[in-house]
Homo-oligomer: A and B are copies of this chain.
Amino acid sequence: MESSVGEAVVSHVIGVIGESTFSDAAHEALAEEVGRRLAGEGATLICGGLTGVMEAACRGAQRAGGRTIGVLPGTDRAEANPFVEIAVATGMGQARNTIIVLTADVVIAIGGGFGTLSEIALALRLGKPVVGLRTWEAARGERRAPLMVAASPEQAVREALRLAREGG
């Protein structure tokens, strides 16, 4: 799960994106399990640092000893949920989504509103693989957005790590 770059040891970075308010109560447990499993694989979790899917995933990761990065829309680190270990204040609103996607090797999308759909598409635009769990599907005529649909957190994390290793 880790590779040596210079003197530093760098783990894979997986983005977790999703709704800030749960549209389905089941999403909270899914997000938390994704976070926990990412930590178990030694991956670093990066997300938008706020509530809902972001907070549940961070909680799962942090309780399992994993590293969590929150890239915040606002100007104050204190805006981060309490399970963000490294809070980055951008002051750039939704434009901060670009930073999450660029920094991640692979993105896992869970549930989500339009912001999540936007990040999924942005990841695909920037060539980052996306694994989806109960999230958006999109099509234009015959063309379908090449989202990898996972049936469970276990599968989502397994596929995300596989894709990260291939990409690296």
Contacts of A141 in B (CB 8 A): 134
Q: Does A69 contact B (CB under 8 A)?
A: yes
Question: Chain A 105-142 against B: per-residue CB contact (8 Å), 1 yes, 0 no?
Answer: 00000011111011111101110000000111111110
A36-66 interface mask toward B, CB cutoff 8 Å, 1 = contact, 0 = none?
0000000010000000000000000010000
Among B71, B85, B91, B124, point to the contact of A93 (Cβ < 8 A).
B91
- A7 near B82 with CB under 8 A, answer yes
Shortest A61–chain B CB gap in Å is 12
- Bound: A113/B135 CA distance, A: 19
**Chain A, 59-102, contact with B by CB distance < 8 Å: what is the 0/1 string?**
00010000101010001111001111111111111110011001
A interface, over-half SS: mixed
When all copies of this chain in the complex are counted, the total is 4
CB-based contact A91/B88 at 8 Å: no
CA distance A118 to B86 in the complex (A): 25
The reply to whether B81 and A103 contact each other, CB–CB distance below 8 Å, is: no
Whether, in the assembled complex, A29 has its beta carbon less than 8 Å from a beta carbon of chain B, the answer is: no
Residues of B within 8 A of A44 (CB): 86
Distance from A126 Cβ to chain B, minimum over Cβ atoms (Å): 7
A sample of 27 inter-chain contacts (CB < 8 A) reads: A6-B82, A7-B82, A8-B85, A10-B77, A69-B86, A75-B93, A77-B103, A87-B103, A88-B88, A91-B92, A91-B94, A93-B98, A94-B126, A95-B95, A112-B140, A113-B125, A114-B122, A114-B124, A117-B117, A117-B138, A118-B121, A134-B140, A136-B138, A137-B139, A137-B140, A138-B138, A138-B139
